[in-house]
Structure 1
Amino acid sequence: MDIRHLEYFIEVARQKSFSKAADKIRVSQSTVSKTIKDLETELGKALFNRNSKYVRLTDTGKILFTEAQQVVEMFQHMSTELESISKIEKGKINIGMPPITGATTFAKLLGEFKKTYPNIEITLFEYGSKTVQLGIQDGSLDVGLICCPTNQELYEAIYFTKDPLWVVVHPDHPLTRYPKVDFASLAGESFVLYHRDFSLYDEIVMRCKMAGFQPKVIFETSQRELMIQIVEAKLGIVLLPSKICQELDPQRVTSIPMADPQIFLELSLIWKKGRYLSYATLLWIKYVRNYLLNKTK
């Protein structure tokens, strides 16, 4: 048994699929299957229950999964420690971020970081804030950008930006007569909302209930252009960050600020509190801190 056996085992357990694990690790499915079979042969125990519909851990597999994560993390920490000592500016960072944010500044920042540290590999994953936090907790993500206030007991965080949500409607909509609208005036409208793994979904639904109505949700998506197309077709309304709204074509849709109390898209860069971070991840966090510090000067 070597560390590769455990890494492949952990990924199959996380993905609940040999093919998805192979895609994530970037090896063939046959390689993953053979590695798991070798591990089971060595242990003399089955680690997964397999059929055509699912792959699930056996009782033995569940025990090994817990222990294997600790072993792999210790191995990664040891490798990172040696890397840090030699000050080799290379490595890999897994970053989760919600696609709806339109985080242009964040994307540019990633580009500048890559120019400064060309040997550091960055992999981006599009998830809602809830999924990003789960990924950081289970170790599949190193850091993440989330659209909600951070849990200070679980995460370290760097505050990135705060942007109010505006309502986006068709140019012929009656609400365009007003300079601002409140949530009560949205009762009876058809809402296009973010997927449920986005924290903003819960925030918008809660604010509607506070205004005295249950929102009629006709569609959930994380694709901004699809949201705009639905509004343009007069099928519903959507709430988007003001910075995104200011970039929209006024011939297609109209954006209107929300009256207080507003909902804000609060972007924070987070990572797990107390977790050992790779040298590459530490460089990224330091780079973001320096950028924001210089931005405020």
Structure 2
Amino acid sequence: MEIRHLEYFVEVARQKSFSKAATISHVSQSAVSKMIKDLETELGTPLFNRTSKYVQLTDTGIIFLDQAQQLVVMFHNLTPEFENRIKMEKGKISIGLLPITSTTIFAELLGEFKKRYPQIEISLLEYGSKKVASAIQDGTLDAGVICIVPDNHYYDSLSFAKDPLFVIVSSQNPISQLPSIELASLSNESFVLYSNDFSLHDEIINQCRNVGFSPNVIFETSQLELMTQMVAANLGIAFLPSAVCKELDSNRIVSVPLMEPQIIHNMSIVWKRGRSMSHAARLWLQFAKDYFTSNEHFI
């Protein structure tokens, strides 16, 4: 028994005519008659009383019609229902964020996405760039925000912000009076640096060595508040993107543009190349691409 048997049977019962059912089904009357005959043979009972003037359901035909109609409706709804379930705007996304350098830029994106898709759950985990990349690779995270994109053979990425690093110092530090400062001039300062799992940790140390000194790192942290508190207490200096500096207490901490060389803090969304992603994750990535493309002050 095939679905066509049931479809033709239901149509004949509805039209009370083999010829009309054939016309509606776009097949020959003989094809409809054969399908009904095969169905009756398989069931072992007649489904219609046939005369030259009418076609009428038998008692068993009436009983079978109810089940056949349900099956036909279920069959025709199967593909649309399946597609709707796949496309249902629900699900969960796991995203890795940089606890120090992720700014309001990304928060605005998440806020707009949540307004559009309130039923999609977003799980945010704070890691440094290196751990974000590792977690994406092993499938722990769907996507993440990092500063330096790893090997392009394994990741796809979307750059959404380029922001120069500023030196932040206590208002008591003489550097706070300068309009800008060269990196080489910081050789005698104590550094409060990003933890080792941040790509900026390596970037800052390498840039210092390039200009002739190894920085005196007195403390490493992944917490913005702790970093800024140590700077405010004049225990050391630190480096933050200019966008983050705008949110600091200017009475206690002063941000000074870093020059020669200027270190650019790049922010990119990355995800594993070739990985089969959930519909929710694909929705979020497309939303992010559209969001940053439509906002010209990004990138």
Same-fold call, TM cutoff 0.5: yes
Q: For residues 156 and 243 of structure 1, what CA distance do their matches in structure 2 show?
A: 25
Q: For residues 104 and 122 of structure 2, what CA distance do their matches in structure 1 show?
A: 17
Partner of 2:257: 257
1:75-103 CA-to-partner distances (Å, cap 9, x unmatched) read xxxxxxx6676421111111011110142
Partner of 2:204: 204
Contact 1:150/1:157 (<8 A) preserved:
no
1:97-117 CA-to-partner distances (Å, cap 9, x unmatched) read 111014212112112211211
1:138 paired to 2:150: no
1:93 paired to 2:97: no
| Equivalent AA in structure 2 for residue 109 of structure 1 | L
Partner of 2:296: 296
| Equivalent AA in structure 1 for residue 168 of structure 2 | V
1:23-53 CA-to-partner distances (Å, cap 9, x unmatched) read xxxxxxxxxxxxxxxxxxxxxxxxxxxxxxx
| Equivalent AA in structure 2 for residue 116 of structure 1 | R
Contact 1:150/1:268 (<8 A) preserved:
no
Partner of 2:114: 114
Partner of 1:105: 105
Contact 1:171/1:254 (<8 A) preserved:
yes
| CA pair 208-281 structure 1, distance change in 2 beyond 3 A | same
| CA pair 256-117 structure 1, distance change in 2 beyond 3 A | same
Contact 1:83/1:279 (<8 A) preserved:
no
Q: For residues 242 and 217 of structure 1, what CA distance do their matches in structure 2 show?
A: 22
Q: For residues 239 and 129 of structure 2, what CA distance do their matches in structure 1 show?
A: 17
SS of equivalent to 1:144: strand
TM-score normalized with structure 2 length: 0.69
| CA pair 92-212 structure 1, distance change in 2 beyond 3 A | same
**Percent sequence identity over aligned pairs:** 52
The alignment of Structure 1 onto Structure 2 pairs a total of residues equal to 216
| Equivalent AA in structure 2 for residue 223 of structure 1 | Q
Q: For residues 147 and 176 of structure 1, what CA distance do their matches in structure 2 show?
A: 27
Q: For residues 83 and 127 of structure 1, what CA distance do their matches in structure 2 show?
A: 35
1:174-216 CA-to-partner distances (Å, cap 9, x unmatched) read 2233211111100011100011000000000001111111111
1:45-72 CA-to-partner distances (Å, cap 9, x unmatched) read xxxxxxxxxxxxxxxxxxxxxxxxxxxx
Greater Cα shift, 246-255 or 202-211? 246-255
Deviation for aligned residue 1:225: 1.6
SS of equivalent to 1:258: strand
Q: For residues 111 and 175 of structure 1, what CA distance do their matches in structure 2 show?
A: 37
Structure 1 residues not aligned, in runs of 5+: 1-81
Contact 1:84/1:279 (<8 A) preserved:
no
1:168 paired to 2:159: no
| Equivalent AA in structure 1 for residue 224 of structure 2 | R
TM-score normalized with structure 1 length: 0.70
| CA pair 235-278 structure 1, distance change in 2 beyond 3 A | same
1:11-32 CA-to-partner distances (Å, cap 9, x unmatched) read xxxxxxxxxxxxxxxxxxxxxx
Deviation for aligned residue 1:256: 0.4
| Equivalent AA in structure 1 for residue 111 of structure 2 | G
| Equivalent AA in structure 2 for residue 221 of structure 1 | T
Q: For residues 94 and 195 of structure 1, what CA distance do their matches in structure 2 show?
A: 22
SS of equivalent to 2:166: strand
| Equivalent AA in structure 1 for residue 90 of structure 2 | K
Q: For residues 87 and 95 of structure 2, what CA distance do their matches in structure 1 show?
A: 22
Q: For residues 261 and 190 of structure 2, what CA distance do their matches in structure 1 show?
A: 21
Deviation for aligned residue 1:252: 0.3
Contact 1:98/1:128 (<8 A) preserved:
yes
| Equivalent AA in structure 2 for residue 115 of structure 1 | K
Contact 2:103/2:243 (<8 A) preserved:
no
1:237 paired to 2:240: no
Partner of 2:128: 128
Contact 2:160/2:269 (<8 A) preserved:
yes
SS of equivalent to 2:176: helix
SS of equivalent to 2:218: strand
| CA pair 147-84 structure 1, distance change in 2 beyond 3 A | farther
* Alpha-carbon RMSD: 1.6
Structure (1 or 2) with the larger CA radius of gyration: 2
Moved over 6 A (4+): none
Q: For residues 104 and 186 of structure 2, what CA distance do their matches in structure 1 show?
A: 29
SS of equivalent to 2:151: coil
Structure 2 residues not aligned, in runs of 5+: 1-81
Contact 2:96/2:145 (<8 A) preserved:
yes
Q: For residues 294 and 213 of structure 1, what CA distance do their matches in structure 2 show?
A: 43
Partner of 2:228: 228
